[in-house]
Structure 1
Amino acid sequence: METPLHRETNPPQPIKAVHPFWYKLKQNQMTWVGIGILAFIVLCSLLAPVLTSYDPTQIDISQKFQAPSLHHWFGTDEVGRDILTRILYGARISLGVGITVIIIASIIGILIGTVSGYFGSVLDLIIMRIMDMVMAFPTLILAMALAAALGPSLQNAMLAIAIVKIPVYVRLARGESLVIKEKLFVKSAESFGINPWRIIVKHIVPNSVSPVIIQATLDVGDAILMIATLGFLGLGAQPPTPEWGAMISVGWKYLLDYWWYPAFPGLFLFLSAGSLNLIGDGIRDILDPKAGR
């Protein structure tokens, strides 16, 4: 007779812990809507050579202003180029430039802000006054002025937008570093004589990055709109580069007769900026403890 001591018992399976970030992310449906829209646009842009057989810059006057059809889903432009093809290839530029600009601005802003907040004194005063001077101007107006002064090109437009975005991240990083440098672990590191730059890299920067990430996710959509605006004004990507703002800049002139020309690039611009804002709002709700109050 089998006794309880001889029975085989299955040890309880350990419960897998779910990281709070992923748990909160699963609860935010609008964030997943934004992720889905953005992922679809990015995937289509990466698969552009597979999805379309047209060249985004090839001119065919015989096909100009063709209405949307099975051959040209979004129609053609004033020189016969397929609009869908130009939109898909343009997504690489608009999204890539927007993300790159914010990454550059946030990295520079974190470095300057943490140094300013940690060392303080005259250095902090000089840095913050320079930042205040930049922030005194409307962001878009200053970006337009810088892009015009540097010359119309996509690279100069990126540089102009990065410059006007840096002060926001400097102020965020400085505010966090002012609080963190008074923490006990920082004071302990200082008492052991650790190099100040090592303290900044090892302690100040990692603990100052959370609000910067939140701001960066919200700013990507704004950067894409600014790139499109500069392109619309002729200060960004130059023809025949398939950039959404430049396409809208030419297409709006034909809006009444050929509505599809500016409508579809504008739709993709709206979806991209909207999806990034949804993602940014979701990440802010997750990482910012004050957002849910």
Structure 2
Amino acid sequence: MVSKTVNIRVKKSNPFWYKLKQNKMTLVGIAILLSIVLLSIIVPILSPYEPNKVDLVNKFQAPSASHWFGTDEVGRDIFTRIFYGAILSLGLGILIIFIAALLGTIIGCISGYLGGIVDTIIMRLVDMVLAFPSLILAMSLAAVLGPNIQNAMLAIAIVKVPVYIRLARAEALGLKEKLFVKSAETFGINKALIIMKHIIPNAISPVIIQATLDIGDTILLIATLGFLGLGAQPPTPEWGAMISVGWTYLLTYWWYPVFPGLFLFLAAGALNLIGDGIRDVLDPKSAR
């Protein structure tokens, strides 16, 4: 009886968390992601090694008590580099999606609410970008801009923004016909204020769902560009760049590419599980 009362109180006080924790796979994703984040924060305490310090005497050391994930071709500790790389990969993934979602939501809501020639021009530009596969377009933009992590971020953001423009526009088209928006127009409220106060706040829910699902994909894109030499450049401890060098040693020094690849898989999988759980909570239709 007491536990049932507590559950009712939790459900009323924080319904989002109550619904989210019903999905066991989402909790698994949260646990994995928090573990990676925690390890990346405390890695300076756990490891006595610098991520970029060369130690040729200890190159290609197998996993051991002194080097938990072994060392690379110049003696750098792979465990240390993986968790310094986690800060970079996760941080960049979240930052890129935040920028893309913010810009896409604003542009999409403006396009959907104003309509006419503004909507036509914006949507034709969006169609041009979406006509290309995202990976191919990101690779092309990164190659043109130059191979570094900043240009890789810009390339991925350009690829991701149109998705949010379309999503926000679809919401805005429905919202502008709602009574509360029509009432605001009747009272002569400025269109920019209507967009900021009424359209964007009510269009944000599907954007959040898409953003949580996109973070994992963005981390994979960052790693892919790094693997192809179009993203982070050596000696930056980025997962894709580490795999790019390490895969050539797979048959002889298996730990070099395997451990960065494993944590890339775990991070992307955890984020997708969390995104699925948030989608189920925020979008009741998906749970039916």
TM-score, reference length from structure 2: 0.96
Match of 1:213 among 182, 205, 208: 208
Is 1:235 aligned to residue 230 of structure 2? yes
| Structure 2 residue 215 is matched with structure 1 residue 225 | no
Query: What per-residue deviation string (whole Å, max 9, x for no partner) do you get for residues 215-246 of structure 1?
Result: 00000000000000000000000110000000
| 1:149 correspondence with 2:144 | yes
The residue type paired with residue 92 of structure 1 is I
Superposition deviation, residue 122 in structure 1:
0.5
Question: Which of the residues 55, 75, 80 maps onto 1:60?
Answer: 55
Mapped partners of 2:59, 2:41: distance in 1? 26
Quote how far apart the aligned CAs of 1:26 are.
1.9
Q: CA deviation at 1:289?
A: 1.6
- The CA deviation at 1:22 is 2.0
In 1: Cα distance, 2:172 partner to 2:263 partner: 39
1:7 matched residue in structure 2? none
**Hey, what's the Cα distance between the residues in 1 that align with 2:165 and 2:266?**
29
Please state if 1:103 is matched with 2:98: yes
TM-score normalised to structure 1 length? 0.94
Q: What amino acid does structure 2 have at the position aligned with 1:253?
A: T
Q: Deviations over 1:135-184 (max 9, x none)?
A: 00000000000000000000000000000000100000000000011100
Q: Distance in 2 between matches of 1:51 and 1:109?
A: 40
Cα offsets for 1:112-141 (capped at 9, x unmatched): 000000000010000000000000000000
Does residue 1:136 correspond to 2:131, yes or no?
yes
* CA deviation profile, 1:89-124 (whole Å, cap 9, x unmatched): 000111111111000000000010000000000100
- Structure with max Cα Rg: 1
1:9 matched to which residue of 2? none
Counterpart position of 1:47: 42
Residue 179 of structure 1 corresponds to 174
Q: In the TM superposition, what is the alpha-carbon distance from 1:47 to its structure 2 partner?
A: 1.1
Map 1:1-293 → 2, pairs under 5 A: 16=9, 17-293=12-288
Matches of 1:89 and 1:204 in 2, distance apart? 40
**In the alignment, which residue of structure 1 is the partner of 2:5?**
none
Using the alignment, how far apart are the partners of 1:190 and 1:247 within structure 2? 55
Name the CA distance, whole Å, in 2 between partners of 1:117 and 1:124.
6
C-alpha distance in structure 2 between counterparts of 1:199 and 1:79, whole Å: 58
Q: C-alpha separation between the residues in 1 aligned to 2:33 and 2:111?
A: 36
Counterpart CA distance in 2 for 1:57 and 1:19 is 44
Q: Matched residues in 1 for 2:169 and 2:108: separation?
A: 4
Counterpart amino acid of residue 239 in structure 2: W
Give per-residue Cα distances to partners, 1:3-50, cap 9 Å, x unaligned.
Answer: xxxxxxxxxxxx742443222112111101000000000111111111
Between the two proteins, the alignment pairs up a number of residues equal to: 280
* SS of aligned partner of 2:141: helix
| CA distance in structure 1 between the partners assigned to 2:123 and 2:14 by the alignment | 37
Sequence identity, in percent?
Answer: 72
**What SS class does the counterpart of residue 59 from structure 1 fall into?**
coil
Moved over 2 A (4+): 15-20
Q: Which runs of 5+ in 1 are unaligned?
A: 1-14
Structure 2: distance between partners of 1:22 and 1:230: 35
